[in-house]
Amino acid sequence: MSVTKKFMYLNRRPPYGTIYAWESLEVVLIGAAFEQDVSLAFLDDGVYQIIKGQDTSGIDMKNFSPTYSALGDYEVTKLYVERESLEERGLTVDDLMPLTWEDEAEDWAEKDSIQLISRAELAKLMDEQDVLFSF
């Protein structure tokens, strides 16, 4: 498959209440092997997926939040978080897990994967994609 497409995964659901967030992350991990131009968008309740300090020990479910930290190793480095969605939920970027990737082109310099963008900027990014996944 030689075509490279711009893939965006839309994350709009919170974790644990339903399995959508976890199973969509599984798609992202598998999809990374296909070498497409991948980005993830966190908007609406999706921003709750990457809140730091998640502890599922009391609900007998797997805490899958550490998996987001591994995305950089899969060369998934563009995580767009919508500012308005954070604000509507009383959150700031400091409430999110620090997610980073290492840039081989710059001697493995550590860079932030999370890019805080406005709703209007996200709308524009969506327009630029080839495929948008929803789960």
Partner 1 sequence: MKFAIQINEGPYQHQAADSAYLFTKAALEKGHEIFRVFFYHDGVGNSTRLTTPPQDDRHIVNRWAALAEQYNLDLVVCVAAAQRRGMVDDGEAERNRKDATNIHPKFRISGLGQLIEAAVQSDRLMVFGD
Partner 2 sequence: MSILHTVNKSPFEKSSLQSCIAHASEGSALLLYEDGVYAATKGTSVSDLVAGVAGVKLYVLGPDLKARGMQEERLIDGVTVVDYTGFVDLAAEYDKVVAWV
Interface residues with partner 2 (CB under 8 A) are 10, 12, 43-44, 119, 122-124, 126-132, 134-135
What minimum distance in Å lies between the beta carbon of 11 and partner 2? 12
User: Which amino acid would we find at residue 114?
Assistant: I
Task: Please identify, using beta-carbon distances, which residue of 36 and 115 lies nearer to partner 1.
Answer: 36
Q: Given the DSSP bridges, would you call strands 37-42 and 79-82 parallel, antiparallel or unpaired?
A: parallel
Residue 123: name its binding partner from partner 1, partner 2, none (Cβ under 5 to 8 Å by kind): partner 2
d(CA 53, CA 129): 32
What residue type is 31 in one-letter code?
G
Residue 7, binding choice from partner 2, partner 1, none, Cβ under 5 to 8 Å by partner class: partner 1
Are 36 and 7 within 8 A, CB to CB? yes
